[in-house]
Structure 1
Amino acid sequence: MAPHQWRVKPALPAVKLLGAAALIALVAAFGRRDPVQWVLVVVAGLGLAAWGFRDLIHPVRLAADITGVTVAVGFAGRRHLPWSRIERIRVDRRARRGIRSELLEIDAGESLHLFGAPELGAAPEDVARALQQLSEQSQGAVDRDHQ
């Protein structure tokens, strides 16, 4: 079976890179005399730019196939988790101050991996459903191998 992949929405890296450029442009226009502003904005701009470049060079945040899931870790790393190590897949829904959020949680015992809709390019509920189906298919394949 071909692997499923979920990736960052294409507009997200552009927004991050434009935000970094806007920060630097604002300080260049209004904060010429304060070196502390420059340092803070340059650090924030570089961080935002690095975050945007990461999305460009490593857009796939989650992939899954019959063997397990592969999650993005760190700046551009990946970690494969076999289905046997995954304890739970669920969608965490929260509402705070009128803002509703949904996160896909993949609990692998010693590690917890969280993904929002912008990172997945899809609704966390849809991704959770697809992962559950793949997990069930994997279990069926294991059961058939042991018969």
Structure 2
Amino acid sequence: MKLPVAKIIGAATVLAAGLLLADGDQVRLALAVLAAASMTGWALRDLLVPVRITAGPDGITVVAGFAGRRRLGWGQIEAITVDRRGHRGVRTELLEIDAGESLHLLGRGELGTDPAEVAAALRALHSCSEEVSHPRRSRDDP
């Protein structure tokens, strides 16, 4: 909830700065309004579609685009990894879901928790679903 509120405050700040600094310049004012509207839309997406990923025994569903959803069966998923990068003292982690034709990237803000924890949980769920759909046979089974 903190991130959408910060985005709305940022949009209001950009709009206020645009109104104060436009000084009759319609282009500056239009750019400020456009930037504020974009930030507000970004915040509304976070408020209206807060769940970015769901998982179950048959696969996962990820948000695609502004509010669309894409269903991926476990068989479609080639890899679940965490991309860790550091730049100028800032470290970022993204959950990467590689589905061959598409790559889905989700950060901490979208997941609400550490991407490494989500990756581990998805891998465990995937392993459990494979065990249920393809149980191992013992030597005693016919």
**Same-fold call, TM cutoff 0.5:** yes
Matches within 5 A, 1:107-146: 107-144=98-135
How far residue 30 of structure 1 moved from its aligned partner, in angstroms, is 2.7
SS at match of 2:66: coil
The one of 39, 50, 71 equivalent to 1:80 is: 71
Give me the identity figure in percent. 47
Aligned length: 138
Amino acid corresponding to residue 27 of structure 1 in structure 2:
G
SS for the counterpart of 2:52 is: strand
Q: Gapped runs of 5+ residues in structure 1?
A: 1-9
Deviation at 1:145, TM superposition (A): 10
Higher relative contact order (CA 8 A, sep 6+): 1
RMSD: 1.6
| Partner residue, 1:19 | 10
Structure-2 change in CA distance of 1:67 and 1:145 (3 Å)? farther
Whichever of the two has the greater Rg, that structure is: 2
1:32 aligns with 2:39: no
Q: CA deviation at 1:110?
A: 0.2
Query: What is the rounded CA distance, in whole Å, between the counterparts of 1:86 and 1:112 in structure 2?
Result: 10
Displacement of 1:15 after TM fit?
Answer: 1.0
* Residue 56 of structure 2 corresponds to residue 49 of structure 1: no
User: Which blocks of at least 5 consecutive residues in structure 2 are unaligned?
Assistant: none
8 Å CA contact retained: 2:59, 2:74: yes
Residue deviations 1:40-94 (CA, integer Å, cap 9, x gap):
1111111100111111111100111111110001111111100010000000111
